[in-house]
Amino acid sequence: MSLIEKKLEDLMQKRTEARLGGGQERIDALHAKGRLTARERINLLLDEGSFEEFDMFKTHRCHNFGMQEKVFLGDGVVTGYGTVAGRLVYVYGQDFTVLGGSLSETLAEKVCKVMDLAIKNGAPIIGLNDSGGARIQEGIEALAGYSEIFQRNVMASGVVPQISAIFGPCAGGAVYSPALTDFIAMVKTNSYMFLTGPKVVKSVTHEDVTVEELGGADMHASVSGVADYAAESGVEAIAYVRKLLSFVPQNNMENVPLLATTDPPDRRDESLNSLIPDSANEAYDMKEVIVRTVDDGDFFEVKEQFAPNIITGFGRYNGHSVGIVANQPLHLSGVLDINSSIKAARFVRFCDCFNIPVVTLVDVPGFLPGTNQEYNGVIRNGAKILYAYAEATIPKVTVVTRKAYGGAYCVMSSKHLRGDINYAWPSAEIAVMGGKSAVEVLYSREARKADDPAVFLAEKEKEYCQTMANPFVAARRGYIDDIIEPARSRFRIIKALEMLKNKRDTNPMKKHGNIPL
Ligand code: HXC
What digits encode the pLDDT tens for the residues 191-218?
999 998 999 999 999 999 999 999 999 9
Residue 64, CA atoms < 13 Å, CB-side half-sphere: 9
Q: Ligand 1, closest atom to CA 170?
A: 32
Q: Ligand 1, closest atom to CA 196?
A: 40
Compute the distance from residue 102 Cα to the ligand 1 centre, in Å.
Answer: 6
**Residue minimizing CA distance to atom 47 of ligand 1:** 99
**Residue minimizing CA distance to atom 13 of ligand 1:** 99
Report the pLDDT value the prediction gives residue 465, as an integer from 0 to 100: 86
Report the pLDDT value the prediction gives residue 84, as an integer from 0 to 100: 98
Distance CA 447, CA 363 (A): 30
Percentage of residues of the chain with pLDDT beyond 70: 100
Q: Ligand 1, closest atom to CA 100?
A: 17
Burial of 362 (0-12, 13-18, 19+ CB in 10 A): buried
CATH code of the domain made up of 30-247: 3.90.226.10
Burial 59-86 (b: 16+ CB within 10 A, else e): ebebeeeebeeeebbbbbbbbbbbbbee
Distance CA 385, CA 360 (A): 12
Dihedral sign computed on CA atoms, order 483, 486, 487, 488: positive
pLDDT band at 343 (very low <50, low <70, confident <90, very high): very high
Distance CA 227, CA 58 (A): 32
* Length of the chain as a residue count: 517
Compute the distance from residue 193 Cα to the ligand 1 centre, in Å.
Answer: 12
Distance CA 55, CA 72 (A): 12
Compute the distance from residue 61 Cα to the ligand 1 centre, in Å.
Answer: 19
**Residue minimizing CA distance to atom 9 of ligand 1:** 135
pLDDT band at 33 (very low <50, low <70, confident <90, very high): very high
Q: Mind listing the pLDDT tens digit for each residue in 493-512?
A: 999 999 999 999 999 999 99
Q: Ligand 1, closest atom to CA 150?
A: 55
pLDDT band at 270 (very low <50, low <70, confident <90, very high): very high
Burial of 2 (0-12, 13-18, 19+ CB in 10 A): exposed
Three-class DSSP category at 72: coil
**Residue minimizing CA distance to atom 22 of ligand 1:** 100
pLDDT band at 74 (very low <50, low <70, confident <90, very high): very high
Report the pLDDT value the prediction gives residue 264, as an integer from 0 to 100: 98
**Residue minimizing CA distance to atom 34 of ligand 1:** 132
Answer for the pair 160, 250: CB distance below 8 angstroms, yes or no: yes
CA 301 remoteness from chain centre: 9
Whether residue 481 has pLDDT greater than 90: yes
Q: Report which DSSP code applies to 275.
A: -
Compute the distance from residue 136 Cα to the ligand 1 centre, in Å.
Answer: 8
Q: What is the mean pLDDT of residues 48-74?
A: 94
Which of 67, 102, 154, 192 is the pocket-test mutation for ligand 1 (most atoms within 8 Å of CB)? 102
Burial of 208 (0-12, 13-18, 19+ CB in 10 A): exposed
Report the pLDDT value the prediction gives residue 468, as an integer from 0 to 100: 86
Which of 104, 105, 129, 136 is the pocket-test mutation for ligand 1 (most atoms within 8 Å of CB)? 136
Distance CA 166, CA 190 (A): 9
Report the pLDDT value the prediction gives residue 222, as an integer from 0 to 100: 97
The catalytic site residues sit at 172-173, 407-408
Report the pLDDT value the prediction gives residue 26, as an integer from 0 to 100: 96
Which of 99, 200, 212 is the pocket-test mutation for ligand 1 (most atoms within 8 Å of CB)? 99
Distance CA 136, CA 141 (A): 10
Three-class DSSP category at 161: coil
Whether residue 68 has pLDDT greater than 90: yes
Q: Mind listing the pLDDT tens digit for each residue in 142-191?
A: 999 999 999 999 999 999 999 999 999 999 888 999 999 999 999 999 89
Compute the distance from residue 177 Cα to the ligand 1 centre, in Å.
Answer: 16
Amino acid in position 479:
Y
Distances (CA, A) of 255 to 40, 250, 318: 32, 8, 15
Q: Ligand 1, closest atom to CA 174?
A: 52
**Residue minimizing CA distance to atom 48 of ligand 1:** 99
Three-class DSSP category at 362: strand
pLDDT band at 46 (very low <50, low <70, confident <90, very high): very high
Compute the distance from residue 167 Cα to the ligand 1 centre, in Å.
Answer: 14
Domain-wise residue ranges, the chain: 30-247, 270-432+470-499, 435-468
Report the pLDDT value the prediction gives residue 237, as an integer from 0 to 100: 98
CATH code of the domain made up of 270-432+470-499: 3.90.226.10
What's the order of all strands across the beta sheet hosting 125-129? 52-54, 77-84, 87-94, 125-129, 162-166, 183-187, 229-231
**Residue minimizing CA distance to atom 17 of ligand 1:** 100
Q: Three-class SS string for 87-126?
A: EEEEEEEECCCCHHHCECHHHHHHHHHHHHHHHHHCCCEE
Residue 296 Ramachandran class (φ > 0 left, ψ -120 to 50 alpha, else beta): left
Compute the distance from residue 169 Cα to the ligand 1 centre, in Å.
Answer: 8
Answer for the pair 335, 325: CB distance below 8 angstroms, yes or no: no
First to last CA, the chain: 66
Q: What is the mean pLDDT of residues 45-74?
A: 94
The mean pLDDT value of the chain amounts to 96
Q: Mind listing the pLDDT tens digit for each residue in 414-459?
A: 999 999 999 999 999 999 888 888 898 999 899 899 999 999 999 9
Q: Is 270-432+470-499 the same fold as 30-247?
A: yes
Ligand 1 shell residues, CB under 6 Å: 99-100, 102, 132-136, 143, 146, 169, 171-173, 176, 196-197, 200
